[in-house]
Amino acid sequence: MNVQAIREQFPILHQNVNGHPLVYLDSAASSQKPRSVIDAVSRFYEHDNANVHRGVHTLGSRATDAYEGAREKTAKFLNAASPQEIIFTRGTTTALNLVASSYARAVCGEGDEIVITQMEHHSNLIPWQQAAKATGATLKYIPLQKDGSIRLADVEATVTDRTKLVSVMYVSNVLGVVNPIKEITAIAHKHGAKMVVDGAQSTPHMKVDVRDLDCDFYAFSGHKMCAPTGIGALYGKKALLEAMEPVEFGGEMIDHVDLYDSTWKELPWKFEGGTPIIAGAVGLGAAIDFLNEIGLDEIERHEHKLAAYAYDRLSTIEGISIFGPVENRAGLVTFNLNDVHPHDVATVLDTKGIAIRAGHHCCQPLMRYLNVSSTARASFYLYNTEEDVDRLIDGLHQTKEFFGYGIG
Ligand code: PLP
C-alpha cells in the first residue's frame, strides 16, 4: 500500500494547524474524504441533481440511477444477498434505532431478554434500554474481562431461550477489541435470538461479509469510511425486513394512501420516508469504490501495523495507562497520561497540530467499568503513517513536560 500516494488524494491533510503540519488521529470519530468522493458529490450537484423515484424527466432518472447504484455497491460491499436488504439511513445510530423501534418492539414482551455488553457505544445501548422499557423485556449484559474483551463462555451463560435479540459492536471504539461476532451470532441463533451488529468501527477498516457472519442486522456510518456525513445503512435479512413495520411515515415510502389507512412500498423503500440523502449516497458509492480499489485487507493490515507500532511506542512512556487487550486490536489506541485530564492532553497536542479525541467516547458505562471518567484516543486510518505516531509520541512527551512530569 502506497500511503504517500493515498495521502495525496486527501486535500485536507495538506495544511498547517496551529503552525504545524496536521496530524489527524481522530478517524474513529469521523474520517477525512478523498478527492474522488468530494468530486462525486460535486459532480452530482453540477450534473444530475433532482429528486429520486418521482420525476419522469432525465435528471430525475439519472439521480434515481445514481442513488440506487450506490445501494447496489453497498450491498456488494457487505456481501448482502440483494440491494433490497440495504436501507439507507443517516448512520449507525439511526439504523440501530430502526431495529429497536420496529423489530424489538414487535417481538419483545414481558419476560423476554435483550442482550448487549457494557462496552457498547450509547447508540447501541440506549435504543435497547428504551425498547426494554417499552416492552417489559429485560436488558442483560454479557460480562467483560478485565481488559474489556468478551469470553464466549460468558456469552453462552448470558443468552437464554428468552433472549430475543443480541446486539454487539464488531470493533470497540474505545478498546480497539475485535469481537468474535460470528461465534456470538451462532450462540444467539442456537437460542432462537436475532443478532444485531454495530459495524460503525469495523466497516471502514476490514472486509465485512454479512452472510458469512450470518448476522440478522448490521449497521454502519458512511462518514467513518471516507463518505460524507448524513449517510449510512442498515443491512437486514430480507424476511425480517419484510415482516417489520416502518417507523417513519410520509412521502416516498407509500404504495396506496386512503383517508384512514395506507399501504407501504416494497423493500427497501418502505423504510425510507421522505426525500433521502441522495448526494450522500452518491458519495458513499464513491467511497466504496475508493476503498475497494485499495483493498480492505491491505487497509486492515496497514492499520494493525500502525496500531501495534503506536502501542509499543506509547508503552515506553512513563505514567501512561493503555486500555484494551494487547492482542486482537484494531487501529486505535486509548490511553491516559499520568493524572493529566485527557482534555488537557488533547488541547496541548492540538497546539502542535495533532488531532486526537478526548472524552467518554459515547461510552459512559464502559468508562465506569474502566474506572475512569474519560480517556484520550488516537485512531488510525489508511492515510496515517509511522511519522504521525512519532509526532504523537513527541507531543505526549511535551505534554508531560508542560504538566511538570518531566520527560520519560
Ligand atoms: N457505534 C460505534 C462503535 C461508534 O464508534 C459510533 C460513532 O462514533 C457510533 C456507533 C455512532 O455512529 P453515528 O454517530 O455515525 O451514528
Residue 253 scores a pLDDT above 90: yes
How many CB atoms are closer than 10 A to CB 18? 11
Integer CA distances (angstroms), 369 to 117, 147, 162, 252, 329, in order: 11, 10, 26, 44, 19
Which sequence positions are flagged as catalytic?
Answer: 362
Q: How many whole angstroms from 401 Cα to the centroid of ligand 1?
A: 34
User: What pLDDT score was predicted for residue 8?
Assistant: 98
CATH fold for domain 3-31+295-402: Aspartate Aminotransferase, domain 1 (3.90.1150)
Residue 247 scores a pLDDT above 90: yes
Of all protein residues, the one whose alpha carbon is nearest to atom 14 of ligand 1 is 93
Q: How many whole angstroms from 262 Cα to the centroid of ligand 1?
A: 34
C-alpha cell at 60: 430525475
User: What ranges do the domains of the chain cover?
Assistant: 3-31+295-402, 37-293
Confidence of residue 407 (pLDDT cuts 50, 70, 90): low
Instruction: Please choose from 26, 30, 93 the residue to mutate so as to test ligand 1's pocket, defined by most ligand atoms within 8 A of CB.
Output: 93
* Ligand 1 nearest-atom number relative to CA 93: 16
How many CB atoms are closer than 10 A to CB 64? 18
Integer CA distances (angstroms), 124 to 3, 14, 120, in order: 33, 35, 6
User: What pLDDT score was predicted for residue 405?
Assistant: 82
Q: Say whether 197 sits in a helix, a strand or coil.
A: strand
Q: How many whole angstroms from 362 Cα to the centroid of ligand 1?
A: 8
Share of the chain above pLDDT 70, in %: 99
Cis, peptide link before residue 325, omega less than 30° from 0: no
| pLDDT 10s digits, 1-19 | 899 999 999 999 999 999 9
Mean local confidence (pLDDT), 98-105:
98
* Ligand 1 nearest-atom number relative to CA 92: 16
Mean local confidence (pLDDT), 313-333:
92
Mean local confidence (pLDDT), 266-285:
98
Of all protein residues, the one whose alpha carbon is nearest to atom 6 of ligand 1 is 200
| pLDDT 10s digits, 10-59 | 999 999 999 999 999 999 999 999 999 999 999 999 999 999 987 789 99
Of all protein residues, the one whose alpha carbon is nearest to atom 8 of ligand 1 is 29
Between the two ends of the chain, the Cα-to-Cα distance in Å is: 34
User: What pLDDT score was predicted for residue 408?
Assistant: 56
User: What pLDDT score was predicted for residue 328?
Assistant: 80
Confidence of residue 329 (pLDDT cuts 50, 70, 90): confident
Ligand 1 pocket: which residues have CB below 6 Å? 29, 91-93, 121, 123-124, 169, 173, 198, 200-201, 221, 362
Q: How many whole angstroms from 60 Cα to the centroid of ligand 1?
A: 32
Q: How many whole angstroms from 169 Cα to the centroid of ligand 1?
A: 10
How far is 67 from 53, CA to CA, in rounded Å?
10
* Ligand 1 nearest-atom number relative to CA 361: 8
305: exposed, middle or buried (C-beta count within 10 Å: 0-12, 13-18, 19+)? middle
Q: Say whether 174 sits in a helix, a strand or coil.
A: coil
| pLDDT 10s digits, 153-208 | 999 999 999 999 999 999 999 999 999 999 999 999 999 999 999 999 999 999 99
Specify the CATH number for 37-293; select among 3.30.413.10, 2.40.50.140, 3.40.640.10, 1.10.630.10: 3.40.640.10
Mean local confidence (pLDDT), 327-354:
94
User: What pLDDT score was predicted for residue 404?
Assistant: 86
Q: Scan for cell 505514567, then name that residue.
A: 319
Q: 204 and 64 in contact (C-beta within 8 Å)?
A: no
How far is 160 from 114, CA to CA, in rounded Å?
10
Residue 356 scores a pLDDT above 60: yes
User: What pLDDT score was predicted for residue 327?
Assistant: 81
Q: How many whole angstroms from 332 Cα to the centroid of ligand 1?
A: 15
| pLDDT 10s digits, 175-188 | 999 999 999 999 99
* Ligand 1 nearest-atom number relative to CA 91: 16
Of all protein residues, the one whose alpha carbon is nearest to atom 4 of ligand 1 is 200
* Ligand 1 nearest-atom number relative to CA 90: 16
User: Measuring CA to CA, which residue among 205, 394, 395, 378 is closest to residue 307?
Assistant: 378
User: Measuring CA to CA, which residue among 171, 165, 109, 129 is closest to residue 334?
Assistant: 171
Q: Say whether 334 sits in a helix, a strand or coil.
A: strand
Domains 3-31+295-402 and 37-293 share a fold: no
